[in-house]
Structure 1
Amino acid sequence: MSNKTNYSYVGMAFIILVFGIIFVPRIVDRIKNQDITRNDRMSQGQDNNFKDNSKLIFLEINGEAKKVPDFSFTDQNGKTITNKDYLGKVYVVEFFFTTCPSICPKMNKNLVDIQDAFKGNTEFGVASFSINPAHDTTEVLKEYESQHGITNPNWHLLTGKKEDIYKLSNEGFNLYTAQDDEVEGGFEHSGNFALIDKNGFIRSRVLNGNPVIYYNGIISEAEKTDEDGQEEQISMLKEDIKKLLNE
Protein backbone atom coordinates (compact mmCIF):
# COMPACT_ATOMS: atom_id res chain seq x y z
CA MET A 1 0.00 0.00 0.00
CA SER A 2 1.40 3.42 -0.95
CA ASN A 3 2.22 6.21 1.51
CA LYS A 4 -0.36 8.37 -0.29
CA THR A 5 -3.09 5.85 0.50
CA ASN A 6 -1.97 5.61 4.12
CA TYR A 7 -2.14 9.39 4.48
CA SER A 8 -5.67 9.35 3.04
CA TYR A 9 -6.87 6.85 5.63
CA VAL A 10 -5.21 8.80 8.44
CA GLY A 11 -6.81 12.01 7.20
CA MET A 12 -10.29 10.46 7.07
CA ALA A 13 -9.93 9.04 10.57
CA PHE A 14 -8.83 12.42 11.89
CA ILE A 15 -11.84 14.17 10.31
CA ILE A 16 -14.25 11.63 11.84
CA LEU A 17 -12.62 12.03 15.27
CA VAL A 18 -12.81 15.84 15.14
CA PHE A 19 -16.47 15.68 14.04
CA GLY A 20 -17.38 13.47 17.00
CA ILE A 21 -15.54 15.64 19.52
CA ILE A 22 -16.96 18.94 18.28
CA PHE A 23 -20.45 18.26 17.02
CA VAL A 24 -21.95 15.46 19.15
CA PRO A 25 -21.82 17.52 22.40
CA ARG A 26 -23.27 20.51 20.51
CA ILE A 27 -26.13 18.39 19.20
CA VAL A 28 -26.91 17.26 22.75
CA ASP A 29 -26.70 20.82 24.09
CA ARG A 30 -28.94 22.17 21.33
CA ILE A 31 -31.64 19.59 21.92
CA LYS A 32 -31.41 19.89 25.70
CA ASN A 33 -31.63 23.69 25.68
CA GLN A 34 -34.92 23.55 23.78
CA ASP A 35 -36.58 22.12 26.95
CA ILE A 36 -39.04 19.22 27.03
CA THR A 37 -42.59 19.88 25.92
CA ARG A 38 -45.70 17.94 26.90
CA ASN A 39 -45.18 15.74 23.86
CA ASP A 40 -41.62 14.84 24.94
CA ARG A 41 -40.48 15.27 21.37
CA MET A 42 -36.93 14.16 22.09
CA SER A 43 -38.09 10.56 22.43
CA GLN A 44 -40.30 10.53 19.36
CA GLY A 45 -39.47 9.36 15.88
CA GLN A 46 -36.48 7.29 16.88
CA ASP A 47 -35.33 4.28 14.92
CA ASN A 48 -35.96 0.99 16.74
CA ASN A 49 -32.56 -0.46 15.78
CA PHE A 50 -31.67 -1.28 19.36
CA LYS A 51 -28.83 -3.77 18.88
CA ASP A 52 -25.94 -1.43 19.54
CA ASN A 53 -22.68 -2.12 21.32
CA SER A 54 -21.49 1.48 21.45
CA LYS A 55 -20.93 3.22 24.77
CA LEU A 56 -23.58 5.59 26.08
CA ILE A 57 -22.74 9.26 25.94
CA PHE A 58 -23.00 11.75 28.78
CA LEU A 59 -25.64 14.42 28.54
CA GLU A 60 -23.56 17.62 28.44
CA ILE A 61 -24.85 21.09 29.30
CA ASN A 62 -22.46 23.96 28.59
CA GLY A 63 -19.63 21.49 28.33
CA GLU A 64 -20.33 19.75 31.65
CA ALA A 65 -21.81 16.28 32.13
CA LYS A 66 -25.29 16.53 33.68
CA LYS A 67 -25.68 14.91 37.10
CA VAL A 68 -28.85 14.16 39.01
CA PRO A 69 -29.44 17.10 41.41
CA ASP A 70 -29.30 16.47 45.14
CA PHE A 71 -32.61 15.23 46.54
CA SER A 72 -33.98 13.87 49.79
CA PHE A 73 -37.42 12.23 50.10
CA THR A 74 -39.20 9.52 52.11
CA ASP A 75 -39.83 6.08 50.64
CA GLN A 76 -42.59 3.52 51.12
CA ASN A 77 -40.85 2.15 54.20
CA GLY A 78 -40.60 5.54 55.91
CA LYS A 79 -36.87 5.73 55.21
CA THR A 80 -35.14 8.91 54.04
CA ILE A 81 -33.63 8.30 50.60
CA THR A 82 -31.22 10.69 48.88
CA ASN A 83 -29.38 10.68 45.58
CA LYS A 84 -26.33 9.40 47.49
CA ASP A 85 -28.18 6.15 48.26
CA TYR A 86 -28.12 5.41 44.53
CA LEU A 87 -24.39 5.94 44.06
CA GLY A 88 -22.82 2.70 42.86
CA LYS A 89 -26.11 1.67 41.24
CA VAL A 90 -27.60 2.00 37.77
CA TYR A 91 -31.17 3.21 38.10
CA VAL A 92 -34.23 4.35 36.22
CA VAL A 93 -36.16 7.49 37.19
CA GLU A 94 -39.89 8.08 36.70
CA PHE A 95 -42.51 10.56 37.91
CA PHE A 96 -45.95 9.08 38.63
CA PHE A 97 -48.88 9.06 41.08
CA THR A 98 -50.76 6.12 42.53
CA THR A 99 -54.26 7.20 41.41
CA CYS A 100 -53.16 7.86 37.81
CA PRO A 101 -55.91 6.51 35.52
CA SER A 102 -53.92 6.43 32.30
CA ILE A 103 -50.19 6.03 31.68
CA CYS A 104 -48.80 5.23 35.15
CA PRO A 105 -50.08 1.63 35.26
CA LYS A 106 -48.43 1.02 31.89
CA MET A 107 -45.18 2.65 32.98
CA ASN A 108 -44.95 0.69 36.20
CA LYS A 109 -45.86 -2.57 34.51
CA ASN A 110 -42.93 -1.97 32.18
CA LEU A 111 -40.69 -1.14 35.14
CA VAL A 112 -41.68 -4.41 36.83
CA ASP A 113 -40.71 -6.17 33.59
CA ILE A 114 -37.33 -4.42 33.73
CA GLN A 115 -37.02 -5.22 37.44
CA ASP A 116 -37.58 -8.91 36.73
CA ALA A 117 -35.01 -8.87 33.91
CA PHE A 118 -32.38 -7.80 36.47
CA LYS A 119 -33.67 -9.87 39.39
CA GLY A 120 -31.02 -10.40 42.03
CA ASN A 121 -28.72 -7.68 40.70
CA THR A 122 -27.98 -5.48 43.72
CA GLU A 123 -26.52 -2.76 41.49
CA PHE A 124 -29.84 -2.00 39.76
CA GLY A 125 -32.60 0.20 41.15
CA VAL A 126 -35.58 2.44 40.40
CA ALA A 127 -36.59 5.85 41.77
CA SER A 128 -40.33 6.58 41.46
CA PHE A 129 -41.25 10.10 42.55
CA SER A 130 -44.91 10.77 43.35
CA ILE A 131 -46.25 14.03 41.92
CA ASN A 132 -49.26 13.84 44.27
CA PRO A 133 -47.54 13.61 47.65
CA ALA A 134 -50.58 14.94 49.53
CA HIS A 135 -52.33 11.67 48.72
CA ASP A 136 -49.35 9.38 48.25
CA THR A 137 -48.22 8.91 51.84
CA THR A 138 -45.76 6.22 52.88
CA GLU A 139 -48.71 3.95 53.73
CA VAL A 140 -50.29 4.46 50.30
CA LEU A 141 -46.97 3.85 48.57
CA LYS A 142 -46.40 0.68 50.60
CA GLU A 143 -49.78 -0.65 49.51
CA TYR A 144 -49.00 0.29 45.91
CA GLU A 145 -45.74 -1.65 46.17
CA SER A 146 -47.49 -4.82 47.26
CA GLN A 147 -50.24 -4.54 44.66
CA HIS A 148 -47.94 -3.99 41.68
CA GLY A 149 -45.28 -6.66 42.13
CA ILE A 150 -42.47 -4.36 43.24
CA THR A 151 -39.86 -6.57 44.92
CA ASN A 152 -36.48 -4.94 44.22
CA PRO A 153 -35.19 -3.50 47.53
CA ASN A 154 -33.55 -0.71 45.52
CA TRP A 155 -36.88 0.41 44.06
CA HIS A 156 -37.93 3.36 46.19
CA LEU A 157 -41.37 4.96 45.87
CA LEU A 158 -40.71 8.50 47.04
CA THR A 159 -42.87 11.23 48.56
CA GLY A 160 -42.13 14.63 50.07
CA LYS A 161 -42.73 18.32 49.52
CA LYS A 162 -44.64 18.90 46.30
CA GLU A 163 -42.60 21.95 45.29
CA ASP A 164 -39.35 19.99 45.71
CA ILE A 165 -40.61 17.10 43.59
CA TYR A 166 -41.87 19.40 40.84
CA LYS A 167 -38.58 21.31 40.79
CA LEU A 168 -36.66 18.05 40.52
CA SER A 169 -38.91 16.92 37.66
CA ASN A 170 -39.22 20.10 35.62
CA GLU A 171 -35.78 21.61 36.26
CA GLY A 172 -33.59 18.73 37.39
CA PHE A 173 -34.66 16.31 34.66
CA ASN A 174 -36.74 18.48 32.29
CA LEU A 175 -39.46 15.85 32.52
CA TYR A 176 -42.80 17.64 32.38
CA THR A 177 -44.96 17.61 35.53
CA ALA A 178 -47.96 19.78 36.45
CA GLN A 179 -51.18 19.78 38.41
CA ASP A 180 -54.21 20.40 36.21
CA ASP A 181 -57.67 19.90 37.68
CA GLU A 182 -59.20 19.87 34.20
CA VAL A 183 -57.44 16.69 33.05
CA GLU A 184 -58.33 13.14 34.02
CA GLY A 185 -56.69 12.30 37.33
CA GLY A 186 -55.84 15.95 38.05
CA PHE A 187 -52.17 15.79 37.01
CA GLU A 188 -50.07 15.78 33.85
CA HIS A 189 -46.62 14.26 33.58
CA SER A 190 -44.10 12.79 31.21
CA GLY A 191 -44.36 9.14 30.25
CA ASN A 192 -40.60 8.90 29.82
CA PHE A 193 -37.86 7.29 31.90
CA ALA A 194 -34.40 8.70 32.62
CA LEU A 195 -31.38 6.40 32.94
CA ILE A 196 -28.69 7.17 35.53
CA ASP A 197 -25.25 5.59 35.82
CA LYS A 198 -23.40 4.46 38.93
CA ASN A 199 -21.85 7.89 39.44
CA GLY A 200 -25.13 9.81 39.21
CA PHE A 201 -24.81 11.02 35.61
CA ILE A 202 -27.72 11.05 33.14
CA ARG A 203 -26.73 8.88 30.19
CA SER A 204 -27.90 8.58 26.60
CA ARG A 205 -27.34 6.56 23.47
CA VAL A 206 -27.12 8.01 19.97
CA LEU A 207 -29.32 6.76 17.13
CA ASN A 208 -28.86 8.07 13.61
CA GLY A 209 -26.79 10.95 14.94
CA ASN A 210 -29.41 12.01 17.50
CA PRO A 211 -29.14 11.46 21.26
CA VAL A 212 -31.98 9.53 22.90
CA ILE A 213 -32.13 11.54 26.11
CA TYR A 214 -35.13 9.73 27.60
CA TYR A 215 -36.85 6.40 27.00
CA ASN A 216 -40.54 5.97 26.24
CA GLY A 217 -41.96 4.18 29.27
CA ILE A 218 -45.52 3.67 28.06
CA ILE A 219 -45.25 1.13 25.24
CA SER A 220 -44.43 -2.41 26.36
CA GLU A 221 -41.86 -4.67 24.75
CA ALA A 222 -44.67 -7.11 23.87
CA GLU A 223 -46.79 -4.42 22.19
CA LYS A 224 -43.95 -3.42 19.84
CA THR A 225 -45.75 -0.23 18.73
CA ASP A 226 -48.59 1.99 19.89
CA GLU A 227 -51.65 3.03 17.88
CA ASP A 228 -49.68 5.90 16.34
CA GLY A 229 -46.92 3.60 15.14
CA GLN A 230 -44.36 4.76 17.71
CA GLU A 231 -42.02 1.88 18.57
CA GLU A 232 -41.28 0.59 22.04
CA GLN A 233 -38.04 1.52 23.80
CA ILE A 234 -38.11 -0.87 26.75
CA SER A 235 -35.83 -3.33 24.98
CA MET A 236 -33.44 -0.48 24.25
CA LEU A 237 -33.52 0.57 27.90
CA LYS A 238 -32.73 -2.97 29.05
CA GLU A 239 -29.71 -3.09 26.75
CA ASP A 240 -28.46 0.26 28.00
CA ILE A 241 -28.88 -0.76 31.64
CA LYS A 242 -26.65 -3.75 30.89
CA LYS A 243 -24.04 -1.49 29.35
CA LEU A 244 -23.92 0.76 32.41
CA LEU A 245 -23.84 -2.21 34.80
CA ASN A 246 -20.74 -3.43 32.96
CA GLU A 247 -18.93 -0.11 33.04
Structure 2
Amino acid sequence: MDFKFFKKSKATLLFLVVFSAVSLPVFYHLVKVDKKLKVYNPVDVNPSLVHESIKHITKDHTIADFELTNQNGEIITQKNYKDKIYIADFFFTRCTNICIAMAYNMSELQGFYKDDDDIMFLSHSVTPEIDSVSVLKEYALNKGVIDGKWNVTTGSKKHIYDLARKSYMAVIEEGDGGEDDFIHTEQFILVDKKRRIRGFYDGTDKKDMEKLKEDVALLKEEYRGK
Protein backbone atom coordinates (compact mmCIF):
# COMPACT_ATOMS: atom_id res chain seq x y z
CA MET A 1 0.00 0.00 0.00
CA ASP A 2 1.25 3.49 -0.83
CA PHE A 3 1.18 5.24 2.55
CA LYS A 4 2.06 8.62 1.04
CA PHE A 5 -1.01 8.39 -1.19
CA PHE A 6 -3.11 7.31 1.79
CA LYS A 7 -1.92 10.29 3.84
CA LYS A 8 -2.62 12.70 0.96
CA SER A 9 -6.10 11.25 0.48
CA LYS A 10 -6.82 11.53 4.18
CA ALA A 11 -5.63 15.13 4.24
CA THR A 12 -7.71 15.95 1.16
CA LEU A 13 -10.80 14.35 2.71
CA LEU A 14 -10.24 16.26 5.95
CA PHE A 15 -9.89 19.52 4.00
CA LEU A 16 -13.14 18.86 2.11
CA VAL A 17 -15.00 18.12 5.34
CA VAL A 18 -13.75 21.30 7.01
CA PHE A 19 -14.36 23.36 3.86
CA SER A 20 -17.93 22.07 3.60
CA ALA A 21 -18.61 22.74 7.27
CA VAL A 22 -17.52 26.36 6.85
CA SER A 23 -18.78 27.15 3.36
CA LEU A 24 -22.23 25.57 3.39
CA PRO A 25 -23.61 27.76 6.22
CA VAL A 26 -22.16 30.83 4.48
CA PHE A 27 -23.79 29.78 1.19
CA TYR A 28 -27.09 29.12 2.97
CA HIS A 29 -26.94 32.58 4.56
CA LEU A 30 -26.32 34.20 1.19
CA VAL A 31 -29.25 32.34 -0.35
CA LYS A 32 -31.50 33.48 2.49
CA VAL A 33 -30.44 37.09 1.98
CA ASP A 34 -31.19 36.82 -1.74
CA LYS A 35 -34.72 35.62 -0.94
CA LYS A 36 -35.55 38.61 1.23
CA LEU A 37 -38.62 40.40 -0.08
CA LYS A 38 -38.24 43.76 -1.76
CA VAL A 39 -39.39 46.88 0.07
CA TYR A 40 -41.40 48.99 -2.38
CA ASN A 41 -41.01 52.74 -2.55
CA PRO A 42 -42.74 55.10 -5.03
CA VAL A 43 -39.75 55.05 -7.41
CA ASP A 44 -40.12 51.25 -7.70
CA VAL A 45 -43.73 51.33 -8.88
CA ASN A 46 -45.29 52.06 -12.27
CA PRO A 47 -45.41 55.91 -12.35
CA SER A 48 -49.05 55.86 -13.50
CA LEU A 49 -49.94 54.32 -10.12
CA VAL A 50 -48.01 56.84 -8.05
CA HIS A 51 -49.46 60.15 -6.90
CA GLU A 52 -47.50 63.17 -8.09
CA SER A 53 -46.80 64.27 -4.53
CA ILE A 54 -44.79 61.14 -3.67
CA LYS A 55 -43.06 60.26 -6.95
CA HIS A 56 -39.76 61.63 -5.65
CA ILE A 57 -39.62 59.29 -2.62
CA THR A 58 -36.84 56.71 -2.89
CA LYS A 59 -36.90 55.17 0.59
CA ASP A 60 -38.82 54.83 3.86
CA HIS A 61 -42.29 54.90 2.25
CA THR A 62 -44.94 53.62 4.65
CA ILE A 63 -48.72 53.38 4.80
CA ALA A 64 -50.12 56.60 6.26
CA ASP A 65 -52.19 56.71 9.44
CA PHE A 66 -55.83 55.94 8.76
CA GLU A 67 -59.22 56.01 10.47
CA LEU A 68 -61.98 53.84 9.03
CA THR A 69 -65.20 52.16 10.21
CA ASN A 70 -65.62 48.40 9.94
CA GLN A 71 -68.56 46.04 9.49
CA ASN A 72 -69.40 46.26 13.19
CA GLY A 73 -69.35 50.04 13.36
CA GLU A 74 -65.97 50.01 15.13
CA ILE A 75 -63.29 52.60 14.42
CA ILE A 76 -60.27 50.91 12.82
CA THR A 77 -56.88 52.63 12.72
CA GLN A 78 -53.29 51.65 12.07
CA LYS A 79 -53.12 50.72 15.77
CA ASN A 80 -55.32 47.68 15.07
CA TYR A 81 -52.59 46.48 12.70
CA LYS A 82 -49.61 47.28 14.92
CA ASP A 83 -46.92 44.56 14.60
CA LYS A 84 -49.06 42.66 12.09
CA ILE A 85 -48.49 41.55 8.51
CA TYR A 86 -51.60 42.38 6.54
CA ILE A 87 -53.11 42.11 3.08
CA ALA A 88 -55.10 45.09 1.82
CA ASP A 89 -57.47 45.59 -1.10
CA PHE A 90 -60.05 48.01 -2.52
CA PHE A 91 -63.56 46.83 -3.43
CA PHE A 92 -67.24 47.73 -3.39
CA THR A 93 -70.15 45.55 -2.37
CA ARG A 94 -72.18 46.06 -5.58
CA CYS A 95 -69.30 45.02 -7.82
CA THR A 96 -70.30 42.20 -10.16
CA ASN A 97 -67.01 41.55 -11.96
CA ILE A 98 -63.47 41.42 -10.50
CA CYS A 99 -64.63 41.86 -6.89
CA ILE A 100 -66.31 38.45 -6.93
CA ALA A 101 -63.01 36.66 -7.57
CA MET A 102 -61.19 39.03 -5.23
CA ALA A 103 -63.60 38.38 -2.36
CA TYR A 104 -63.36 34.63 -2.94
CA ASN A 105 -59.56 34.70 -2.91
CA MET A 106 -59.40 36.96 0.15
CA SER A 107 -61.75 34.58 1.93
CA GLU A 108 -59.53 31.64 0.95
CA LEU A 109 -56.49 33.47 2.32
CA GLN A 110 -58.36 34.23 5.53
CA GLY A 111 -59.08 30.53 5.91
CA PHE A 112 -55.47 29.62 5.19
CA TYR A 113 -54.20 32.03 7.88
CA LYS A 114 -57.12 31.57 10.25
CA ASP A 115 -54.93 30.41 13.14
CA ASP A 116 -51.97 32.67 12.39
CA ASP A 117 -52.18 35.70 14.68
CA ASP A 118 -49.48 37.50 12.69
CA ILE A 119 -51.70 37.86 9.60
CA MET A 120 -54.68 40.19 9.14
CA PHE A 121 -56.75 41.58 6.27
CA LEU A 122 -58.07 45.05 5.43
CA SER A 123 -60.60 45.87 2.71
CA HIS A 124 -61.49 49.45 1.77
CA SER A 125 -64.78 50.32 0.06
CA VAL A 126 -64.34 52.63 -2.94
CA THR A 127 -68.05 53.54 -2.77
CA PRO A 128 -68.28 54.44 0.92
CA GLU A 129 -71.38 56.58 0.36
CA ILE A 130 -73.22 53.37 -0.60
CA ASP A 131 -71.40 50.86 1.59
CA SER A 132 -72.75 51.82 5.00
CA VAL A 133 -72.01 49.80 8.12
CA SER A 134 -75.21 47.78 7.72
CA VAL A 135 -74.38 47.01 4.08
CA LEU A 136 -70.85 45.98 5.04
CA LYS A 137 -72.21 43.79 7.85
CA GLU A 138 -74.41 41.88 5.44
CA TYR A 139 -71.50 41.59 3.00
CA ALA A 140 -69.20 40.36 5.77
CA LEU A 141 -71.67 37.70 6.84
CA ASN A 142 -72.09 36.50 3.25
CA LYS A 143 -68.32 36.30 2.72
CA GLY A 144 -67.55 34.61 6.01
CA VAL A 145 -65.49 37.50 7.35
CA ILE A 146 -63.96 36.73 10.76
CA ASP A 147 -64.24 39.68 13.13
CA GLY A 148 -60.84 40.78 14.37
CA LYS A 149 -59.12 39.04 11.47
CA TRP A 150 -60.55 40.84 8.46
CA ASN A 151 -61.91 44.38 8.61
CA VAL A 152 -64.22 45.42 5.77
CA THR A 153 -64.29 49.18 5.99
CA THR A 154 -65.97 52.40 4.93
CA GLY A 155 -65.12 56.02 5.71
CA SER A 156 -64.44 59.36 4.08
CA LYS A 157 -64.18 58.89 0.32
CA LYS A 158 -61.29 61.34 0.04
CA HIS A 159 -59.44 59.58 2.87
CA ILE A 160 -59.87 56.16 1.25
CA TYR A 161 -58.84 57.44 -2.19
CA ASP A 162 -55.80 59.19 -0.70
CA LEU A 163 -54.80 55.88 0.90
CA ALA A 164 -55.22 54.06 -2.42
CA ARG A 165 -53.08 56.56 -4.35
CA LYS A 166 -50.60 57.99 -1.86
CA SER A 167 -50.04 55.02 0.45
CA TYR A 168 -50.81 51.77 -1.36
CA MET A 169 -50.01 53.00 -4.88
CA ALA A 170 -52.71 50.65 -6.10
CA VAL A 171 -54.64 52.60 -8.73
CA ILE A 172 -54.07 54.75 -11.80
CA GLU A 173 -54.04 58.44 -10.95
CA GLU A 174 -57.54 59.79 -11.60
CA GLY A 175 -59.50 62.39 -9.65
CA ASP A 176 -59.18 63.44 -6.03
CA GLY A 177 -61.90 61.48 -4.26
CA GLY A 178 -64.65 63.84 -5.39
CA GLU A 179 -68.30 62.93 -5.97
CA ASP A 180 -67.73 61.62 -9.51
CA ASP A 181 -64.36 60.03 -8.79
CA PHE A 182 -64.16 56.26 -9.02
CA ILE A 183 -61.30 53.81 -8.69
CA HIS A 184 -61.27 50.10 -9.30
CA THR A 185 -58.29 47.81 -8.89
CA GLU A 186 -57.68 44.07 -8.62
CA GLN A 187 -54.51 44.58 -6.56
CA PHE A 188 -53.84 42.88 -3.26
CA ILE A 189 -51.06 44.64 -1.35
CA LEU A 190 -48.82 42.89 1.18
CA VAL A 191 -47.81 45.16 4.07
CA ASP A 192 -45.22 44.26 6.69
CA LYS A 193 -45.05 44.99 10.43
CA LYS A 194 -43.36 48.33 9.76
CA ARG A 195 -46.21 49.41 7.42
CA ARG A 196 -44.00 49.00 4.34
CA ILE A 197 -45.26 47.52 1.06
CA ARG A 198 -43.58 44.18 0.30
CA GLY A 199 -45.60 42.95 -2.68
CA PHE A 200 -48.39 43.51 -5.21
CA TYR A 201 -50.63 40.69 -6.49
CA ASP A 202 -53.53 40.23 -8.89
CA GLY A 203 -56.39 39.42 -6.54
CA THR A 204 -58.26 37.57 -9.31
CA ASP A 205 -55.36 35.24 -10.17
CA LYS A 206 -54.89 31.90 -8.38
CA LYS A 207 -51.19 31.72 -9.27
CA ASP A 208 -50.65 35.13 -7.73
CA MET A 209 -52.37 33.93 -4.57
CA GLU A 210 -49.86 31.08 -4.32
CA LYS A 211 -47.06 33.59 -4.86
CA LEU A 212 -48.52 35.76 -2.10
CA LYS A 213 -48.47 32.79 0.30
CA GLU A 214 -44.83 32.10 -0.61
CA ASP A 215 -43.97 35.75 0.01
CA VAL A 216 -45.76 35.77 3.37
CA ALA A 217 -43.67 32.74 4.37
CA LEU A 218 -40.50 34.59 3.35
CA LEU A 219 -41.60 37.65 5.29
CA LYS A 220 -42.32 35.61 8.40
CA GLU A 221 -38.90 33.97 8.05
CA GLU A 222 -37.36 37.44 7.82
CA TYR A 223 -38.89 38.34 11.19
CA ARG A 224 -37.87 35.03 12.76
CA GLY A 225 -34.27 35.75 11.73
CA LYS A 226 -34.17 39.01 13.68
- TM beyond 0.5: yes
Determine what percentage of the aligned residue pairs are the same residue: 32
* 1:202 paired to 2:190: no
> Which residue matches 1:245?
220
Contact 2:42/2:169 (<8 A) preserved: no
SS state at 2:148 partner: coil
Q: CA deviation at 1:33?
A: 6.2
> Which residue matches 1:147?
142
The alpha-carbon distance between structure 1 residues 188 and 68, as it changes in their structure 2 partners (threshold 3 A), is: closer
Q: CA deviation at 1:240?
A: 1.2
Residue ranges of structure 2 left out of the alignment (5+ in a row):
1-33, 176-180
Q: How many residues align?
A: 178
Residues 111-150 of structure 1 aligned to structure 2 (within 5 Å): 111-150=106-145
Contact 2:43/2:56 (<8 A) preserved: no
* 1:32 paired to 2:45: yes
Cα offsets for 1:133-164 (capped at 9, x unmatched): 11101111111011012225221011111111
> Which residue matches 1:234?
209
SS state at 2:210 partner: helix
Pick the aligned partner of 2:65 from 62, 65, 70: 70
Q: CA deviation at 1:122?
A: 1.6
Which stretch of the first structure deviates more once superposed, 92-101 or 63-72?
A: 63-72
Aligned Cα root-mean-square deviation (Å): 2.9
Cα offsets for 1:18-58 (capped at 9, x unmatched): xx9xxx99x96644262329xxxxxxxxxxxxxxxxxxxxx
Larger-gyration structure (1/2): 2
Q: Distance in 2 between matches of 1:176 and 1:29?
A: 13
Contact 1:125/1:152 (<8 A) preserved: no
SS state at 2:152 partner: strand
Pick the aligned partner of 2:201 from 197, 215, 219: 215
Task: Kindly provide the amino acid, as one letter, of the partner of residue 241 in structure 1.
Answer: V
Residues 100-111 of structure 1 aligned to structure 2 (within 5 Å): 100-111=95-106
More helix by share: 2
The alpha-carbon distance between structure 1 residues 71 and 29, as it changes in their structure 2 partners (threshold 3 A), is: closer
Q: TM-score, normalised by structure 2?
A: 0.70
> Which residue matches 2:157?
162
Contact 1:119/1:152 (<8 A) preserved: no
SS state at 1:65 partner: coil
Cα offsets for 1:77-115 (capped at 9, x unmatched): 111111121011110010000000111111010011111
Cα offsets for 1:166-218 (capped at 9, x unmatched): 11112222212768xxxxxx9541101110011211114xxxxxxxxx11111
Task: Kindly provide the amino acid, as one letter, of the partner of residue 212 in structure 2.
Answer: L
Q: CA deviation at 1:130?
A: 0.3
Q: Distance in 2 between matches of 1:148 and 1:119?
A: 14
Cα offsets for 1:52-81 (capped at 9, x unmatched): xxxxxxxx9744222111111111111111
Residue ranges of structure 1 left out of the alignment (5+ in a row):
1-19, 38-59, 180-185, 205-213, 222-231
Q: Distance in 2 between matches of 1:75 and 1:165?
A: 13
Contact 2:41/2:57 (<8 A) preserved: no
SS state at 1:240 partner: helix
Q: Distance in 2 between matches of 1:111 and 1:123?
A: 16
